Structure 1
Amino acid sequence: MNTLTHVGNLFAFIGGLGMFLYGMDIMASGLQKAAGNKMRELLGYLTNNRFLGVLVGALVTAIIQSSSATTVMVVGFVNAGIMNLTQAAGVIMGANVGTTITAWLVSANEWAGALKPDFFAPLILGIGAFIITFSSRQKLTQKAEIAVGFGILFIGLSSMSSSIGMYQDSPIFYKAFQVLGNNPFLGILVGALVTAIIQSSSASVGILQTLAMRGIVNWRSAVFITLGQNIGTCITALLSSAGANKTAKRAATIHLLFNVMGAVIYGIIMTIFFGIFNDLALQHISGTQISIFHSIFNISITILLFPFANVLVKISGLIIHEDAIEEDDDEEVEEKVLRHLDPRILETPSFAVENAVKEVVRMGGIALGNLNRIMKEAMKDEPSQKKIDKVFHNEQVINHLETMITGYLVKISQLALTDKQTVVVNNLFDTITDIERAGDHVENIAEYLQEMKEGKSHFTKQAQEELKEMTEYVKNALNHAICSIENDSIEEARIATENEEKVDKLEKKLRKSHIQRLKTESCVPEVGVFYLDIISSLERISDHADNIAGYVLNQNDK
């Protein structure tokens, strides 16, 4: 063969690999669209039982054709607090079982006879393309997308196979796989590297099967490369966890630990096995035999390590240490980070909306905590500077959360939402604005107390008691408003509204009472101004609580 032929074969192989990967992606995308959100929701709702988690992980991966995609979803769910690590461990184990489906699909070219997929692939691709081009029915075009992906996948596989075919008797290929077989570590390393580069164990196994179908690969090299491929597939989840919290990083670490342990166990077993059956080790392996080994390996390792899922969780904790939370007077230090929202859950509208609500509730809780904290200081003759500073810090957190949550709500609003979800998301936009403004009023109160502290002045006992009474109604209004969001509760919303009405009446009463004190000169005028400013701020906070309650009542009227 001349140089041009070799270059042509290389181009055909690269093109075939590209079509294979693209076909897998299109087919997986079509399957996910056809399944809607149900597959992802299964991950979130059906994993309280670890055994059930394994089954769900296997089912979801078999449908979306990617253990990496399943694991990335798991990392996202853990990061958003939807799933704990024990649940995640079960799903991750199941994902390894589900990923064997693709290998069986590829090997069908060997055992399906006249019905082998690559024979029908062009026809299936053509039918799918016609449907996508001329049909306006969404469900039908989603199914056609699966057909197009299937066709492209097998046409790519056929292209790779043809380009390799003329090298099946090449001494270079024979020698290369002999070296990989004789050095288990090298075989595992090559399998891991190739898989890490293309970020798909299904694709790398498919490439190996293509080589095997041409009689190029022996048993020993295929086994160790396959073990490495299971390790290489972890790279996707590890990269995905880079911007996640430490619990999510531990989920990705569990995936790596599980696959590395499996590779080590089988690496030792197969090294001993090939030492005894050396003749088998050097025999050519078929694509179907790779599917069989791939399935036995993943299923048996899942069965073997399943009872030790909690051990994997503990080991991940030793590798990824949780930071100790510094506490200030037994109070949690709020951080400018989202705790319930994660980009990986945006593909699941139900979870995205649910967790957006959780994040807004958290934001409201910070505002409520700030209100409670500053009003306790208002009742004192000597407010704590530390507490006042904490209020200022938390107000910055609230402002930052408003910006970040708004960005997520914009993305969520672009998803395929139900009518109720659309109303909820629209109301959340308004809710975070009200919470932020309520937080501003709390900050104003902190500034008033700061000025009083610097002027060495304080409220009279009567004024403190009046502020205490009003604060209770305002706290109740804001607390019930936040609870109404969290529980989508009409009852909580109505209680918030009732408390707001009491605040309005009390504010007028206290204003008159205070003016009377000023007339009788039983109150220092400078301090009196701060008093009026504070009750005005409290009344406005209750107004925002009433607005929030109104949004909940509104979304339940539709």
Structure 2
Amino acid sequence: MDTVDFEIWMFIAGLGIFLFGMYHLETGLKGLAGNSFKKLLQRFTDKRWKGILTGSFVTAILQSSSLVTLLVLAFLGAGMISLQNSLGVVFGANLGTTVTAWIVATVGFKLDIADLSYPFLAIGSLSYLLLDSRPVLKNWGSFLIGFGLLFLGLDFMKTSIEDVAGQVDLRLYANVGLWIFLLIGLITTVLIQSSSAMIVIVLSALNAELISIHQSVAIIIGANVGTTSTLIIASFNGTADKKRLAAANVIFNLVAGAVSFLLLRQMVYFTIHYLGIREPLLELVFLNTLINLIGIVLFFPFIPAFARFMNRRFVKSEPSGTCLYIKNVDPEVSDVALQALDNEISRVYTLVEEFILDCLLIGKNGNHRSSGIKNIFRIEKNLLETYAQLKTIEDEITDYYTQIQRFKLTQSEADLTSNYLIRVRSMIIAAKNIKDVIPNIKEMADSEDPVAVEILGSLQNFAVKNLNKLSSQAPEGMGREEISRLQREYEDFYILTVNYLYKNIPPKAQLSVSVSSITNAIRKIVSTLEELITSVNHPESRNNKGTEPAATDAGTLPAESPFGPLQGQD
């Protein structure tokens, strides 16, 4: 009895050592190349097949499908990857986890793995403990510790199972249905939360001839379904995207598992008689890989339709808020959070640009919009609602900014977040400037005064021209010289327009729009464009604003006028 108890504890100790090794291996690799893997996931997921290959490769290296899935969730929330392509990555991650089984089957049972683990543990432990001031070497130490513990834990499990295998009569399992073994694999994996550890247990049992190849494959199928529990648990209080990925992963493994279980005997027969793989361990790891390949082949043609189907699920779990990107990304993942913030700022700029054009009663191509009496009140109500929405977005971005500041940021990341806040503030000020003169613009549009109508047309054309120019500059920003040139151009336009108004004021009896209304519209529209210059540039590029260009007499006007020859001008 004492001997049996000892073997049980030895087996549990081996399992614990193996899982602890997986943890150190993952930690070390994240420290050594975490950002590289993030960039790889971002860069090579624009196609379904690329997503599958990238997910397989990254998971094969990191040996953590859970980590890869959490990274994908962050990218998905930030708008850096679509749900369709993220599904490809998750499906590929399932395939990537099979690499552990191949390493264990080809190395772990062929060599004296306890002796193999000692050099890794010796070098890794010393590096991890003594080189704390050198992060790269410490991460290498963590990686080596993990590698050594994997093999040491495997040796413990293998030895404990081999010692009890001779005491078990296999004939007792001869008439037990394979579905029992499938349930054993599923339940055990849910409990230990590691399909890699589960397959090592099965390989040890198969190596000790404790179970047959058919029973082993049934356990592995159950383990593939059971490993989805990790993501399911993580998605309970998660966003809609997290729940969609978790559900998609469950469906993928259920379908692949059901098809493989139905064809289990045929797959084993095919592997032995057609492929000539007669070594039980290699046969099992091959079939484990084949099960995941079957799932990928079955789902690949339908990934777009499957993504659309999943997008319609869990709608009630969508995060609250007006923003699209930042509400789905944990601010703790700083680089992804900054990308989400960048996407959100770009969206705000587009919304503000559309708002400005709506206020000016024109389209981006310069086409004028109708402005009848019935349209006035409807448009004004919608514009005020749009402005309120922009203010809400600004508040949400500001709140997200404060959340990001709680985490450790590099100096460049801190500067970038501050820049984002300055840019969004400038956009909202621009929106406020144009919002304040909506009544003036409509008054000019409805007027029969030719001067008011002409000035409004000039303002509309000037706004369209410069909005298009700023939009083209937004991705890269502008240099100081370009900013100064534009600001001088805006000031010149303001001076010319105001002087044109002053020289062409009709008699008071014929004036249908007050001069103050027209000058207010001119000032605010020019100020709106000036604020947008700030919104597409870094803080250090910002010149002093707040001084309104002063109108001058005709003798100081620039040579060219946006109106042609001024009335009364020599």
Give the TM interval when normalised to the shorter protein.
0.7 to 0.9
Residue number among 119, 139, 150 corresponding to 2:147 in the alignment: 150
Residue number among 431, 448, 459 corresponding to 1:470 in the alignment: 459
Using the TM superposition, name which of 87-96 and 433-442 deviates more. 87-96
Secondary structure at 1:131 match in 2 = helix
Cα gap change, 1:214 to 1:362, in 2 (>3 Å): same
Q: Distance in 1 between matches of 2:246 and 2:44?
A: 20
1:455-496 Cα deviation digits (max 9, x unpaired): x9965543344234224434544554444332x1438x8767
Q: Distance in 1 between matches of 2:370 and 2:239?
A: 41
Cα gap change, 1:52 to 1:398, in 2 (>3 Å): same
1:11-61 Cα deviation digits (max 9, x unpaired): 766665444333212211211321242222222223455544443322211
Whose helix proportion is higher, 1 or 2?
A: 1
Secondary structure at 1:337 match in 2 = coil
Residue number among 130, 150, 161 corresponding to 1:134 in the alignment: 130
Cα gap change, 1:509 to 1:235, in 2 (>3 Å): farther
Aligned pairs for 1:100-499 within 5 A: 100-107=98-105, 110-114=108-112, 116=113, 118-135=114-131, 136-158=133-155, 168=165, 182-184=177-179, 186-212=180-206, 215-237=209-231, 243-244=238-239, 254-271=248-265, 290-299=284-293, 302=296, 304-305=297-298, 309-318=300-309, 320-321=311-312, 336-339=322-325, 342-343=328-329, 347=333, 349=335, 353-376=338-361, 380=371, 382=373, 383-406=375-398, 424-446=416-438, 448=439, 461=449, 462-486=451-475, 488-490=476-478, 498-499=485-486
Instruction: Give the equivalent residue in structure 1 for 2:29.
Output: 31
Residue 520 (structure 1) aligned with residue 508 (structure 2): yes
1:439 CA displacement: 2.6
Secondary structure at 2:474 match in 1 = helix
Contact 1:191 1:229 in 2 (8 A): yes
Secondary structure at 1:390 match in 2 = helix
1:92 CA displacement: 3.7
Instruction: Give the equivalent residue in structure 2 for 1:66.
Output: 64
Instruction: Give the equivalent residue in structure 2 for 1:547.
Output: 534
Q: Distance in 1 between matches of 2:181 and 2:11?
A: 21
Matched letter for residue 540 of structure 1: S
1:366 CA displacement: 0.6
Using the TM superposition, name which of 10-19 and 463-472 deviates more. 10-19
Secondary structure at 1:113 match in 2 = coil
Matched letter for residue 541 of structure 1: T
Contact 2:334 2:404 in 1 (8 A): no
Residue number among 482, 488, 494 corresponding to 1:507 in the alignment: 494
Q: Distance in 2 between matches of 1:265 and 1:294?
A: 13
Instruction: Give the equivalent residue in structure 1 for 2:40.
Output: 42
Contact 1:496 1:546 in 2 (8 A): yes
Contact 1:68 1:234 in 2 (8 A): no
Cα gap change, 1:224 to 1:539, in 2 (>3 Å): same
Matched letter for residue 59 of structure 2: T
1:352 CA displacement: 5.3
Contact 2:225 2:253 in 1 (8 A): yes
1:423-466 Cα deviation digits (max 9, x unpaired): 655432321221222233344345x579x89xx99655433442
1:230 CA displacement: 1.8
Cα gap change, 1:90 to 1:319, in 2 (>3 Å): closer
Q: Distance in 2 between matches of 1:238 and 1:394?
A: 38
Q: Distance in 2 between matches of 1:189 and 1:468?
A: 75
1:258 CA displacement: 3.5
1:364 CA displacement: 0.6
Contact 1:53 1:91 in 2 (8 A): yes
User: Which residues of structure 2 form unaligned runs of 5+?
Assistant: 272-278, 363-368, 543-570
Residue number among 527, 538, 541 corresponding to 2:525 in the alignment: 538
Q: Distance in 2 between matches of 1:226 and 1:346?
A: 35
Q: Distance in 2 between matches of 1:30 and 1:40?
A: 15
1:178-221 Cα deviation digits (max 9, x unpaired): 78x5142x443443344345543223323433454555443333
Matched letter for residue 357 of structure 1: D
Cα gap change, 1:292 to 1:274, in 2 (>3 Å): closer
Secondary structure at 2:360 match in 1 = helix
Contact 1:374 1:442 in 2 (8 A): yes
Contact 1:441 1:541 in 2 (8 A): yes
Larger Rg computed on CA atoms: 2
Q: Distance in 1 between matches of 2:160 and 2:314?
A: 53
1:144 CA displacement: 1.1
The count of residues paired between Structure 1 and Structure 2 equals: 519
Matched letter for residue 56 of structure 1: T
TM-score (norm: length of structure 1)? 0.75
Q: Tell me the C-alpha RMSD between the 2 structures.
A: 4.6
Secondary structure at 1:310 match in 2 = helix
Cα gap change, 1:52 to 1:463, in 2 (>3 Å): same
Instruction: Give the equivalent residue in structure 1 for 2:564.
Output: none
1:294 CA displacement: 1.9
Matched letter for residue 98 of structure 1: G
Instruction: Give the equivalent residue in structure 2 for 1:280.
Output: none
Matched letter for residue 312 of structure 2: H
Secondary structure at 1:336 match in 2 = coil
Q: Distance in 2 between matches of 1:547 and 1:415?
A: 27
Cα gap change, 1:10 to 1:358, in 2 (>3 Å): same
Q: Distance in 2 between matches of 1:353 and 1:76?
A: 11
**What is the percentage of aligned positions where both structures have the same residue?**
21
